[in-house]
Amino acid sequence: TLPSKVKLVDVGPRDGLQNEKQMVPAAVKIELVQRLQQAGLKEIEVTSFVSPKWVPQMADAAEVMAGITRQPGVRYSVLTPNLKGFEAALATRPDEIVVFGAASEAFSQRNINCSIAESIERFRPVVEAARANGIYVRSAISCAVGCPYEGEIAPERVEMVARLMKGIGVQHCGVADTIGVGTPIKVQRALDAALRHFAIDDISGHFHDTYGQALANTLASLQMGVWQFDTSVAGLGGCPYAKGATGNVSTEDVVYLLHGLGIETGIDLDRLVDAGQYVSDFLGRKPNSRVATALLNK
Ligand code: HMG
Ligand code: MG
């Protein structure tokens, strides 16, 4: 049986915008967060406290966090790759932080400039400080099924990183198909590997839609009992260190799927489409979502 309720984290303001070439003003990011919460999103990944030399688009992280109007019942998360990022993030009072590692050595080097083992040592004091401050710690394991540099990734690699993350006190494991190459059984194997160290309630799927498999992968995850997913409004996004990878599966498409399955999300699809159109208009393109396109053309 499928879960009766699903939690979606909209990562659009972060994963969605981090790779945009044109600078998106903080005010637009803040308005996007506002529209997402008005659409009923209860979890929003707002920004990342990373090096502005590496990801210029996220240089306004503190400004965006300071500018959002917090709504009771909504949780706001941010990415923190190291203590420097965590300290800057802490001042902006996030509910949750994300430490992001990878199941691929080559991707770890390209994305965060260190090996997998070094990344865990870098995350250790971040996790400790976050938990001491009562901040929930989520992890992301990039390239959980495939890597742009190493090709296919074995589930054992995911199992290893999940074990290391658990060992430093991380509370939640996000299994990420960074470049959207996964197909249902491969994704289920990666989730199974993470499930060896994290409970089903502490696991989420983060699927990019490069090859159009993300909805199928979402359904395959639901069938395992996974009920938490990262999605991106208007299908925004891509990782600057994963060339050619497109955005996350669009929140609109996943909401349509879930509602069609009789699963509760608390999200108003029309208002969500409006949020996606707002940011797409700013970017000068159409929303990258089949459901949004269908509803806007109705
Ligand atoms: P590094 O160059 O090895 O860092 O980068 P460093 O510690 O040697 O510091 C170098 C300089 O950066 C110093 O400044 C530091 O102060 C500064 P300088 O003295 O040269 O002027 N610095 C920072 N500034 C601001 N905030 C910080 C910070 N840290 C150092 N936190 C580092 C290492 C991790 C910082 C860098 O590689 C980095 O920022 N990488 C981030 C890459 C990134 O954001 N990627 C996208 C997000 S991950 C993703 O999208 C995947 C995900 O969606 C899941 C999936 O789909 O797979 C989550
Ligand atoms: Mg991603």
- Residue 82: CB atoms within 10 Å: 18
The C-alpha atoms of residue 245 and residue 181 are separated, in whole angstroms, by 9
Q: What is the predicted pLDDT for the residue at 241?
A: 78
Q: Provide the pLDDT confidence category of residue 237 given band limits of 50, 70 and 90.
A: confident
Closest CA to ligand 1's atom 10: 51
The H-assigned helical ranges of 133-250 are 155-167, 184-195, 214-223
Helix (H, G, I), strand (E, B) or coil at 149: coil
The arithmetic mean of pLDDT across residues 199-218, rounded, is: 97
Q: What is the predicted pLDDT for the residue at 137?
A: 98
Closest CA to ligand 1's atom 55: 178
Taking the CA of residue 80 as reference, the ligand 1 atom at the shortest distance is 31
Q: Which residues are catalytic?
A: 239
Taking the CA of residue 100 as reference, the ligand 1 atom at the shortest distance is 58
Taking the CA of residue 112 as reference, the ligand 1 atom at the shortest distance is 37
Q: Provide the pLDDT confidence category of residue 242 given band limits of 50, 70 and 90.
A: confident
- Asked if the ipTM is above 0.85, the reply is yes
Q: How far is the CA of 112 from the centre of ligand 1 (A)?
A: 6
Q: How far is the CA of 204 from the centre of ligand 2 (A)?
A: 12
The arithmetic mean of pLDDT across residues 52-56, rounded, is: 97
The C-alpha atoms of residue 295 and residue 269 are separated, in whole angstroms, by 10
Pocket of ligand 1 (CB under 6 A): 15, 18, 48-51, 54-55, 79, 81-82, 84-85, 100, 111-113, 140, 142, 176, 178, 206, 208, 239, 241
Radius of gyration of the chain (CA): 17
Q: What is the predicted pLDDT for the residue at 71?
A: 98
Per-position DSSP letters for 55-98, written without gaps between them? -GGGTTHHHHHHHS---TT-EEEEE-SSHHHHHHHHTT--SEEE
Q: Provide the pLDDT confidence category of residue 195 given band limits of 50, 70 and 90.
A: very high
Q: What is the predicted pLDDT for the residue at 158?
A: 98
Give percent of the chain with pLDDT exceeding 70. Answer: 99
What number of H helices and E strands is found in the chain? 11, 10
Give pLDDT tens digits for 90-105: 999 999 999 999 999 9
On average, the pLDDT of the chain sits at 97
Give pLDDT tens digits for 110-135: 999 999 999 999 999 999 999 999 99
The C-alpha atoms of residue 190 and residue 177 are separated, in whole angstroms, by 9
The C-alpha atoms of residue 214 and residue 231 are separated, in whole angstroms, by 10
Of all helices (H) and strands (E), which one includes residue 283?
A: helix 269-283
The C-alpha atoms of residue 41 and residue 32 are separated, in whole angstroms, by 11
pLDDT at residue 240 greater than cutoff 80: no
Q: Provide the pLDDT confidence category of residue 238 given band limits of 50, 70 and 90.
A: low
Q: How far is the CA of 194 from the centre of ligand 2 (A)?
A: 17
Give percent of the chain with pLDDT exceeding 90. Answer: 96
The C-alpha atoms of residue 150 and residue 110 are separated, in whole angstroms, by 12
The C-alpha atoms of residue 177 and residue 93 are separated, in whole angstroms, by 29
- Tell me the ligand closest to 236's alpha carbon: 2
Closest CA to ligand 1's atom 2: 113
Angle of the 184-195 helix axis to the 155-167 helix axis, nearest 10: 30
* Amino acid present at 146: G
Q: What is the predicted pLDDT for the residue at 231?
A: 98
pTM above 0.95, yes or no: yes
Strands 146-147 and 151-152: antiparallel
Give pLDDT tens digits for 139-181: 999 999 999 999 999 999 999 999 999 999 999 999 999 999 9
Q: Are 194 and 163 in contact (CB under 8 A)?
A: no
Q: How far is the CA of 177 from the centre of ligand 1 (A)?
A: 20
pLDDT at residue 243 greater than cutoff 90: no
Of all helices (H) and strands (E), which one includes residue 124?
A: helix 116-132
Q: How far is the CA of 284 from the centre of ligand 2 (A)?
A: 22
